[in-house]
Chains A and B, each alone.
Chain A
Amino acid sequence: MTVRVSAIVNGNQVEEEVEPRTLLVSLIRDKLGLTGTHVGCDTTNCGACAVIMNGRAVKSCTVLAVQADGAELTTIEGIGTTDQLDPVQFAFWEKHGLQCGFCTPGMIVTACQLLKDNPEPTETEIRRALSGNLCRCTGYVKIIDSVKYASKLKKRGATSFRVEQRRLSEKPTWSGGPGDNP
């Protein structure tokens, strides 16, 4: 037995036949090919699979695809592209809010919902909002900095950034790396 699931994913109407036991994250990754959403722990702990469903960030490994029937979904692919980075994505880059990058889609999706609900969160509010997203690299300091910076960028009215622009205008902000030793 299969069930039909129709939803709006990143602005596009999609319709798929799935088994009732299919998880939302499988629908997103395997059926729709949107592999930016990651499966980390697969046990509702890490938040790498976070997507926005009807305006709220949820763990897509713990939602049945059929529960999303009729819903509006935003995955990391719907947040921004390399030509048009969302201020949150740009802030994570600028403030080094990632190392391996595995948790980053979930972090960004969750941060986007936070900033939508609360455009100028305090550090405590940021920490609380991201408490369901685990990062095993950064120690969170840079992630918190990134969300704070994203809040500032949005307040200044920034809507999107282009990767290329950033690259061309970039000047080295560090010196004294291993190669520079006299």
Chain B
Amino acid sequence: MNPREFEYHSPTSLKETVATLEKYKGEAKILAGGQSLIPLMKLRLVAPAHVVDIGRVRGLSYIRRESGFISIGAMTRMSEIESSELIAASLPILRDCASEIADPLVRNMGTIGGNVSHADPTNDMPAVMVATRSQFEAVGPKGRRSLSATTFFKDTFTTELLEEEVLSEIRIPTARYKDGAYVKLERQAGDFGIAGVAASLTLGKDGQCKECGIALTGVGPTVIRALRSEEKITGGRVGASSVESAAELAAEDSQPVADLRGTVEYKREMVGVLTKRALSLALKRTRARLR
């Protein structure tokens, strides 16, 4: 199976990337690691006339500690995130997620920028981005702009990015929403998840929850922010009863559709179970760190 014919572009800078995207606006698709785009092109579900490979753009692959956040270059591979000591130590939620995406061979090619901007509802990174209140740096003809993960994901395969914009960096806060976890249920290794839940917390010294982010994978047209669950957890002590109600609300707020991975009822049930697990693990990690 080959993709349909296309014209190939391999810019070496962001500026050149944006110029190419502008020139072929509406006909171009960005190629990062290609682990979602190439299968779609092979199945002829998409057939862009122009493919802009950002794999040759210099300086898009890094994981850096900055003041209050960790910045990750858009072309950073999932396997690099999975094996990063900095990520393991400061953002276990991201490690949970990166190490559960597809399989190791796919993670050796697949990039965080691609996973985020592809915006497949079953992609795992968007939920982590929303739950951690991450920011995305995009570069376009008018320069840079910063986009918030909570408003970035518009619909299936649709984000706030303009056609002539490219995602260059992801910024994940480390001071707030610090302790989190991502849990996912799969039918089999490497399959798209049945459902996934990302949860992150900021606990005050008094043990009260100051901030909470919860987001759901694979149970709606795009990632779902479980706003009512967040509100349930925020402002009080996180205990069995609040976790239970947050899980019930997340199950209610999910919008699954029945497919070969399960019925609507089953998926809702699983969202509840996974929400409990994600919150419990996030809490366990917070307590371990504060001890």
Contact = CB atoms under 8 A, between A and B. Distances in A.
Interface in A100-159: 110, 128-129, 131-133
Interface in A19-57: 19-23, 26, 42-45, 47, 50, 53, 56-57
Contact of A19 (B5, B41, B104, B190): B5
Interface residues of A, number: 31
A128 B55 CA distance: 27
A67 B108 contact: no
B105 interface: yes
Contacts of A21: 2-6, 41
- Chain A interface, DSSP helix/strand/loop, else mixed: mixed
A56 B108 contact: yes
B92 to A, nearest CB: 17
Interface stretch (A8-16, A58-66, A75-83, A86-94): A58-66
B78 to A, nearest CB: 11
Nearest to A39: B1
A1 interface: yes
A32 to B, nearest CB: 17
A47 B105 CA distance: 8
A3 interface: yes
Contact of B105 (A23, A58, A64): A58
Nearest to A43: B39
Contacts of A133: 105
B95 to A, nearest CB: 14
A51 to B, nearest CB: 10
A43 B44 CA distance: 12
B105 A132 contact: yes
Contacts of B2: 21-23, 26
B259 interface: no
B102 interface: yes
B79 A132 contact: no
B106 A44 contact: yes
B10 interface: yes
Give the top 9 A-B pairs by smallest Cβ distance, nearest first.
A132-B103, A20-B8, A56-B108, A131-B189, A132-B105, A21-B3, A62-B38, A59-B105, A131-B103
Given A21-B5, A45-B190, A57-B104, 8 more contacts: A20-B7, A21-B2, A43-B43, A44-B35, A56-B108, A57-B105, A64-B53, A132-B106
